[in-house]
Amino acid sequence: MSTNSHPTSITNSATLYPIGVFDSGVGGVSVWREIARQLGHENTIYFADQGHVPYGPRLMDEILAFSSAIVRFLLEHRCKLIVVACNTASAAALQTLRLEFPAVPFVGMEPAIKPAAQYTRTRKVGVLATPATFQGKLFASVVERFAAGVELIDQVCPGLVEQVEAGKLDSPDTLEMLHKYLSPILAQGADTIVLACTHYPFLAPAIQRIVGPEIQVIDPSPAIARQVARVLEQKNLAAPAKQVGQHIFYTTGDPQAFARLLGHLAHRTDSDIRQAKWEGASLNVYNS
């Protein structure tokens, strides 16, 4: 040992393992970019199941089966913590994943009803989410815990996930859909809107333009990244602060299309993007 080395330089190697983040598609990149921004020293693996997007209209059991296989894939790639960066998968699978993989720390998405209830003055809050998210027990439990005295205006948004997957954040057809989905919320006097699908934060600038500056639009991603940091600290799994995080992306769709989208949505070019393929109920890597 040289005289310059610090005794504190002995690092638990698990701290260098990546954080796994998954979604049905590019939506979870809204969460991933916050994790990469707040925790730039952490390695990550992002998994987009674009072969199956959208998850929202699917049966809960099917979403659970996909989620469980993706978690197994991420664990085979040594992920130390898994972020279910998808409200729909969190609604369908989070509880079961925690039972199936009891040793794994999970951070999931739950609709941000709590901050919305604290913020609203009109006591009316619009919630944008997929059908599966509204059906799940998780949503019912969040409503029961945090929405006392608040009227929630639940709005499903068919087609919006597909628009984001196509990179159409501001196109006439996207704006038309947004007008249609936001009108009932505005007509009922909501002053707060919760984005309860991780694809929707990419539409936040368009949404804010439509609803006006007086309405609070809540994107939970910064809070999720803070929660990831807290869990890593609690479990002694945080990477050394001086490390520069490396990022790998997997998609079950077309890696080139994913690369273009990542450039468009997260201003990232030259990313390490690989293809994963479903073979029956399990996942294999291609061209890695």
Closer to ligand DGL by Cβ: residue 54 or 255: 54
**Which of 199, 215, 224, 273: binder of ligand DGL (CB under 6 A)?**
199
Query: Among 159, 149, 156, which residue's Cα sits nearest to residue 113?
Result: 149
Confirm whether 86 is a catalytic residue: yes
User: Is there binding between residue 86 and ligand DGL (CB under 6 A)?
Assistant: yes
Q: Is 55 in the site for ligand DGL (CB under 6 A)?
A: yes
C-alpha of 97 from chain center = 16
Selecting among 71, 197, 203, 238, the annotated active-site residue is 197
Query: Cα separations (Å) of 16 from 8, 177, 205, 244?
Result: 15, 43, 35, 11
Q: Which of residues 154-173 bind ligand DGL (CB under 6 A)?
A: 161
Site for ligand DGL in 91-150 (CB under 6 A): 130, 133
Specify the residue for token string 């919630």.
Answer: 127
DSSP symbol at 181: H
Binding test (CB under 6 A) with ligand DGL, winner from 197, 215, 262, 283: 197
In whole angstroms, the minimum distance from the beta carbon of 86 to ligand DGL comes to 4
Closest to ligand DGL by CB, 17 vs 55, is 55
For residue 24, how far is the Cα from the chain centroid? 9
List 15, 24, 43, 163, residue binding ligand DGL (CB under 6 A): 24
Q: Residue 256: phi, psi to the nearest 5?
A: -70, -40
Asked if 27 is part of the footprint of ligand DGL (rule: CB under 6 A), the reply reads yes
Supply the angle between the helices 29-38 and 255-266 in degrees, to the nearest 10: 60
Beta-strand relationship, 106-108 and 282-286: unpaired
Nearer to ligand DGL, 55 or 73 (CB): 55
Alpha helices in the chain (DSSP H): 29-38, 60-76, 87-100, 113-119, 131-135, 137-146, 160-165, 172-187, 204-211, 221-234, 255-266
- Does position 63 interact with ligand DGL (CB under 6 A)? The reply is no
Which region among 21-29, 117-125, 220-228, 264-272 touches ligand DGL (by CB under 6 A)?
21-29
**# chain residues binding ligand DGL, by CB under 6 A:** 16
Alpha-carbon distance of 213 to 211, in angstroms, equals 7
Comparison of 164 and 239: residue with beta carbon closer to ligand DGL: 164
Minimum CB separation from ligand DGL for residue 46, in Å? Answer: 13
Which of 196, 218, 190 shows the shortest CA–CA distance to 143?
196
Active site residues: 86, 197
Contact footprint for ligand DGL (CB under 6 A): 23-24, 27, 53-56, 86-88, 130, 133, 161, 197-199
